[in-house]
């Protein structure tokens, strides 16, 4: 019952918006904003299984490669910087500088070095979405409770176990927040890098439709992109809730006491 | 055996110096249960962290079984006051107790035995799968004690472990500490600000002055070894001893004000 209510509430506004779009665009004569009915018809014919495999799968693979790499480097470097005060003093200004650069401007630069292949796109994604992961990890590691650290030390929990069993779990809620931000940045950069130079992928296809004046198909690509982002963030949310069940429980216990 | 000689700790913050511990000397013999009691803010926590090898003293030294402490000594377990922060909330009770044993490279079968025995000993049989935050404060501190007991320490430091639990739970936990101490033959140093608690638990009570801290006095608690909350606390000898300790603590406070 409760779940049903939640689902209904979550779907109500999208349904209303789609309904409004449908009604308002129904009699549209404009070439650039065709009726939604036409867009949906185009969706069905455009995004066939073969087309999904040819255009969406490469995009997703780049996205996952970039995101996973950024997570690995970001968490690794974040733990090192968070644990070492001197390293932090050296790194912090540089990190702030790099973080302030809007990642899309790096696409032309990275193209010069890495060409226009998949490597370029993965590098762009890594470079853009590593910052929230890195900075959140640093903060999370720095915020590990002093009593927790004292306890670990006095029971001889040091070396690798200190990192994997104490520091990382303790910082994990904040690391997850960084990963969540990084995921949406990664999707944006996936599309942008494909718009610059590519021979396949979602971003490439959408630009291709626009250039060949296949307007309903272009719109359908945008809807697909939106759906993709939604599903990915939903999957992330589910994984996060599973991994951080202890944190939810802890917070609920603290609230009620 | 735990020996503390001429221990001094000065905190430096900028150009300001704060002397927390001035000059502390006392000894805890093997198998003793000694209580440290002092007025609030007398640097008990600083002292405990120095003893546990978590904080380097400015001068003087701490020896455990003859070996100078320059890091957490082997065979020592600590029960912290803040059980809510000392237990790892991302691990269930079993994993909390098991992690130090894994670090000590205790074989798996022995670990299972130790976990089971220690949870039984603190009255938490069957709570191994629960997470600390699912338990009450008193039960959480029992988990922390179980973790310490399973570690099989020769020396057990307890830093105001019952300051944050209610009075009835506290009485139960005091009896638990006495019982474990008698059964395991472990050396216990118990830090508290509660005068009655120190007299009830200890064989000896070391009274501390206000900060900067020195040893104000030491008192042998010549109560029978079998103690219980009702008769011991009503014993005229108990009352005489607690009065002694109380007077010394008051004197320490007055000295500080002067």
Task: Tell me which of A140, A144, A154, A159 to substitute to probe the interface with B (most B C-beta atoms closer than 10 Å).
Answer: A154
A146: left (phi over 0), alpha (psi -120 to 50) or beta: alpha
Chain A environment of B140 (Cβ under 8 Å): none
**N-term to C-term CA, chain B:** 36
Determine contact: A254 vs chain B, CB below 8 A. yes
Closest CA to B87 of A34, A155, A135: A155
User: What is the C-alpha to C-alpha distance for residues A52 and A49, in angstroms, rounded to an integer?
Assistant: 5
Q: What is the ipTM of this complex?
A: 0.89
Q: How far is A13 from chain B (nearest CA, A)?
A: 37
| Domains of chain B as residue ranges with CATH | 2-75+155-257 (3.40.50.300), 83-152 (no CATH)
Give the sign of the dihedral formed by CA A96, CA A101, CA A107, CA A110: negative
* pLDDT average, residue stretch B239-258: 84
Closest CA to B201 of B224, B222, B219, B175: B175
Chain B environment of A151 (Cβ under 8 Å): 78, 80, 86, 88
pLDDT at A142: 95
Per the listing, tokens 């490669």 go with: A65
User: What is the C-alpha to C-alpha distance for residues B98 and A234, in angstroms, rounded to an integer?
Assistant: 35
A-chain residue closest to B130, CA distance: A246
A-chain residue closest to B153, CA distance: A155
Q: Is the pLDDT of residue B41 over 80?
A: no
Determine contact: B147 vs chain A, CB below 8 A. yes
Task: Tell me which of B46, B53, B99 to substitute to probe the interface with A (most A C-beta atoms closer than 10 Å).
Answer: B99
Domain limits, chain A: 51-252
**DSSP symbols for A203-234:** HHHHHHHHHTT-HHHHHHHHHHHHHHHHHHHH
Average pLDDT in chain B: 90
* pLDDT average, residue stretch B215-239: 90
pLDDT at B258: 59
Q: How far is B90 from chain A (nearest CA, A)?
A: 5
Q: Is the pLDDT of residue B210 over 90?
A: no
pLDDT at B167: 87
Q: Is the pLDDT of residue B256 over 80?
A: no
Determine contact: A130 vs chain B, CB below 8 A. no
CB atoms within 10 A of CB A234: 10
- Share of residues in chain A with pLDDT > 90 (%): 60
CB contact under 8 A, A155 and B102: no
* pLDDT average, residue stretch B10-15: 86
* pLDDT average, residue stretch A164-168: 96
pLDDT at A69: 97
Q: Given the DSSP bridges, would you call strands B2-13 and B16-28 parallel, antiparallel or unpaired?
A: antiparallel
User: What is the C-alpha to C-alpha distance for residues B84 and B132, in angstroms, rounded to an integer?
Assistant: 8
Determine contact: A157 vs chain B, CB below 8 A. yes
Determine contact: A143 vs chain B, CB below 8 A. no
Q: How far is A89 from chain B (nearest CA, A)?
A: 19
Sequence-distant (6+) residues with CB within 8 A of A75 are A133, A137, A168, A175
Spell B130-155 as b/e; 16+ CB within 10 A means b: ebbbbbeebbbbbbbbbbbbbbebbb
**pLDDT band with cut points at 50, 70 and 90 for residue B257:** low
- Superfamily, domain A51-252: MetI-like (1.10.3720.10)
User: What is the C-alpha to C-alpha distance for residues B10 and A154, in angstroms, rounded to an integer?
Assistant: 22
Q: Are B78 and A149 in contact (CB under 8 A)?
A: no
Chain B environment of A148 (Cβ under 8 Å): 85-86, 88
CB contact under 8 A, B103 and A247: no
CB contact under 8 A, A157 and B100: yes
* pLDDT average, residue stretch A13-20: 91
Chain B environment of A147 (Cβ under 8 Å): 80, 82, 85-86
Average pLDDT in chain A: 91
pLDDT at A200: 87
Closest CA to A157 of A170, A168, A166, A145: A166
pLDDT at B124: 92
């Amino acid at each position: 019952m409760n779940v049903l209510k939640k689902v209904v509430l979550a779907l109500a506004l999208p349904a209303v918006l789609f309904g409004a779009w449908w009604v308002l665009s129904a009699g549209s004569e404009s070439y650039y904003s065709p009726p939604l009915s036409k867009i949906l018809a185009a969706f069905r014919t455009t995004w066939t299984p073969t087309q999904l495999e040819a255009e969406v799968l490469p995009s997703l693979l780049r996205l996952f490669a970039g995101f996973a790499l950024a997570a690995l480097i970001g968490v690794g470097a974040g733990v090192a910087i968070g644990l070492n005060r001197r390293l932090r003093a050296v790194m912090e200004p540089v990190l702030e500088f790099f973080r302030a650069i809007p990642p899309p401007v790096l696409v032309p630069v990275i193209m010069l070095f890495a060409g226009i292949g998949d490597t370029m796109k993965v590098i762009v994604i890594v470079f853009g979405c590593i910052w929230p992961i890195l900075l959140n990890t640093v903060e999370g590691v720095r915020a590990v409770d002093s009593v927790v650290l004292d306890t670990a030390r006095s029971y001889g929990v040091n070396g690798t176990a200190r990192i994997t069993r104490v520091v990382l779990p303790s910082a994990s809620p904040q690391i997850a927040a960084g990963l969540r931000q990084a995921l949406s940045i990664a999707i944006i950069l996936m599309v942008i890098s494909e718009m610059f130079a590519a021979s396949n992928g979602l971003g490439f296809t959408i630009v291709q439709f626009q250039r060949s004046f296949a307007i309903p198909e272009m719109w359908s690509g945008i809807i697909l992109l939106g759906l993709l982002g939604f599903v990915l963030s939903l999957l992330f949310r589910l994984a996060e809730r599973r991994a951080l069940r202890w944190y939810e429980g802890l917070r609920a216990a603290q609230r009620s006491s | 055996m735990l020996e503390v000689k001429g221990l001094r700790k000065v905190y430096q913050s900028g150009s300001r110096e704060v002397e927390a511990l001035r000059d502390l000397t006392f000894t805890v013999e093997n198998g003793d249960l000694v209580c440290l009691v002092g007025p609030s803010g007398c640097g008990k926590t600083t002292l405990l962290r120095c003893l546990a090898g978590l904080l380097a003293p400015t001068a003087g030294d701490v020896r455990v079984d003859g070996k100078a402490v320059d890091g957490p000594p082997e065979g020592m377990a600590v029960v912290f006051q803040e059980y809510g922060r000392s237990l790892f909330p991302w691990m269930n009770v079993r994993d909390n107790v098991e992690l130090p044993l894994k670090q000590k490279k205790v074989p798996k079968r022995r670990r299972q035995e130790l976990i089971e025995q220690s949870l039984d000993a603190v009255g938490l049989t069957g709570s191994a799968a629960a997470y600390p935050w699912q338990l009450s404060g008193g039960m959480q501190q029992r988990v922390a004690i179980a973790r310490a007991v399973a570690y099989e320490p020769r020396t057990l430091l307890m830093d105001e472990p019952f300051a944050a639990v209610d009075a009835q739970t506290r009485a139960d936990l005091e009896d638990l500490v006495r019982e474990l101490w008698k059964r395991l033959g472990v050396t216990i140093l118990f830090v508290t600000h509660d005068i009655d608690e120190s007299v009830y638990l200890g064989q000896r009570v070391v009274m501390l002055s206000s900060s900067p801290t020195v040893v104000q006095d030491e008192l042998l608690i010549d109560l029978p070894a079998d103690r219980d909350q009702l008769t011991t606390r009503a014993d005229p000898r108990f009352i005489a001893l607690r009065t002694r300790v109380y007077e010394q603590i008051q004197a320490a406070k007055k000295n500080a004000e002067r």
